Amino acid sequence: MPDSKLEDCLARAGEKPHNLSPAEVEWLLGLPSSDLPALYQAAYRVKERVSGRSVSIRGLIEMGNVCAKDCYYCGIRRSNSRVRRYQLDKSDILRLSAWAYAQGYGSLVIQAGESESEAHTRFIEDLLPEIAALSGGALGVTLSLGEQEDEVFRRWRSAGAHRYLLRIETSSPRLYQALHPADHLYERRRRCLAVLRDLGYQVGTGVMSGLPGQSRADLAADIEFFRQMDVDMIGMGPYIPHPDTPLGKDRELTPEYRSSQLELGLRMIAVTRLYLHDVNLAATTALQALADNGREQGLLAGANVIMPNLTDLEYRRDYQLYQGKPCLEESAGQCRGCLEARVVGVGESIRWGERGDSLHYQQRFSSPLD
Ligand code: SAM
Ligand code: SF4
């Protein structure tokens, strides 16, 4: 039974966005486990008000695992020589996009390792109009291709990209530097988010929770960072070790570690929903990697977006950011049926055929006189 301090706090948070003090955000993140049902229910009520009992869906295409960067936590980092590198060609991506459109997906996410070459920039620039053509412009496209020069973001926006997902990973510059080589700069990443917003993208960011050296205060600051950056979408998830990385090599994925990482990921979703209200919030694959029903738990804690994997099976094993990636054996068609059953199983429905722009973004662009 939640005490009255908790009841008051949750009721107040539910009334309007940003109605929690920094100390309360941090306190909610550390509630005892017995209070978590109350936290999740309060967040779910806000989610229900914002987007109903329904889930927006994006088809995820893992376009390639070649990466110029060396983030200490990531399985496809440049220095991991055990990875078989691949890059999908245009015809593969268009085939997956056409399939997704025919199946009723309203949006795609195109994700890959980072490259700043002109060839890569042009590849994406040429691809985007072809994706638009196959759906008569109906498919929404989110890019998640790392940091780029302003001009590259501008070219991709002009070519038809609608959204961009660039996680800040952690809003703490100190922790960011500890998780990356010296030439990976926090300030550049943060600036990219501002540029994307100025260019009219729907902007998504996010963090990993449960990182080594991360405190609850850091996570509370991450949620405040989302507010300050005025982002439209958030894709965050628990950190999961990968054995072939500097950060993950000595970290065992015990059952206790799994469940505490999952719980922290769910707490982050719930408190973020309670604090920001109208953003799109993804129940990410990392949740599912920690528990078979992790994504459904994410939906019940306040998430409203899921991103099933469309990548062909032959490449899925080569895009392993962390250990225990789910759905390595299920094709996109099998994923579709399984997903629908899972979503319906928690009392929600899928918004097939809709782009699913975040309410936050829509309101950013509607003038007060409308
Ligand atoms: N390269 C682009 C970038 O970094 O923005 C996009 C692809 S990158 C693989 C997508 C996200 O994977 C990263 O933003 C990071 O948060 C997440 N990720 C990488 N390694 C992870 C790990 N070990 N556990 C959980 N998430 C991880
Ligand atoms: Fe590359 Fe992104 Fe992985 Fe960093 S997180 S190594 S940029 S794919």
Question: Hey, which of 79, 81, 114 would you mutate to test ligand 2's pocket, going by the most ligand atoms within 8 Å of its Cβ?
Answer: 114
What is the number of the ligand 2 atom nearest to the C-alpha of 70? 6
Token pair listed for 246: 């500097």
> Are the beta carbons of 322 and 251 closer than 8 angstroms?
no
Predicted confidence (pLDDT) at residue 192 exceeds the cutoff of 50 = yes
Ligand nearest to the CA of 181: 2
* Ligand 1 contact, 109 CB (< 6 A): no
Question: What is d(CA 185, CA 69) in angstroms, rounded to the nearest whole number?
Answer: 11
The percent of residues above 90 in pLDDT, for the chain, comes to 91
Q: How far is the C-alpha of 114 from the C-alpha of 116, rounded, in Å?
A: 7
Residue 111 is predicted with a pLDDT of 98
Q: Is 239 in the pocket of ligand 1 (CB under 6 A)?
A: yes
Q: What is the pLDDT of residues 59-84, one digit of tens each?
A: 999 999 999 999 999 999 999 999 99
Nearest-ligand number for the alpha carbon of 65: 2
- What is the Å distance from ligand 1's center to 362 Cα? 27
- The pLDDT of residue 366 is above 90: no
Angle, CA of 112, 115 and 121, to the nearest 5°: 95
Cα 222 to Cα 202: distance, rounded to the nearest angstrom? 19
pLDDT score recorded for residue 334: 76
120 Cβ below 6 A of ligand 1: no
d(CA 338, CA 271): 28
- Ligand lying nearest the CA atom of residue 77: 2
DSSP string, 112-133: E-----HHHHHHHHHHHHHHHH
Ligand nearest to the CA of 63: 1
CA of 166 to the centre of ligand 1 (A): 9
Q: Whose CA is nearest to atom 2 of ligand 1?
A: 146
The structure tokens listed for 6 are 């908790």
pLDDT for res 327:
85
pLDDT band (50, 70, 90) for residue 6? very high
Distance in angstroms (rounded) separating the CA atoms of residues 309 and 284: 11
Q: Are 223 and 18 in contact (CB under 8 A)?
A: no
**In the numeric block, which tokens belong to residue 23?**
């100390």
Q: Are the beta carbons of 286 and 275 closer than 8 angstroms?
A: no
By alpha-carbon position, which residue is closest to atom 4 of ligand 2? 71
The pLDDT confidence band at residue 368, using thresholds 50, 70 and 90, is low
247: pLDDT strictly greater than 80? yes
Kindly report the CATH number that applies to the domain delimited by 21-31+52-364.
Answer: 3.20.20.70
Mutate to test the pocket of ligand 1, among 86, 124, 196, 208 (most ligand atoms within 8 A of CB): 208
* Ligand 1 pocket mutation pick from 167, 205, 258, 323 by most atoms within 8 angstroms of CB: 167
How far apart, in Å, are the Cα atoms of 235 and each of 166, 204, 251, 257, 365?
9, 7, 24, 21, 22
Please tell me the predicted confidence (pLDDT) of residue 370.
41
- What H or E segment, with its residue span, contains residue 299? helix 294-300
Write the pLDDT tens digit of every residue in 104-138.
999 999 999 999 999 999 999 999 999 999 999 99
* Sequence spans of domains, the chain: 21-31+52-364
215, pLDDT greater than 90: yes
Element (H, E) at 140: strand 140-144
- By CB atoms closer than 10 A (0-12, 13-18, 19+), residue 267 is buried
What average pLDDT score do residues 154-167 get? 98
What separation in Å is there between the alpha carbon of 369 and the centre of ligand 1? 40
Structure tokens that stand for 118 in this block: 């002109």
* Helices and strands counted in the chain (H then E): 15, 12
> Which pLDDT belongs to residue 2?
59
Which one of the ligands is nearest to 238 CA?
Answer: 1
What region, left, alpha or beta, does residue 161 occupy, with left being phi > 0 and alpha being psi -120 to 50 degrees? beta
Percentage of the chain exceeding pLDDT 70: 98
- Mutating to test ligand 2, I would choose from 60, 62, 66, 71 the residue with most ligand atoms within 8 A of its C-beta, which is 71
SS3 300: helix
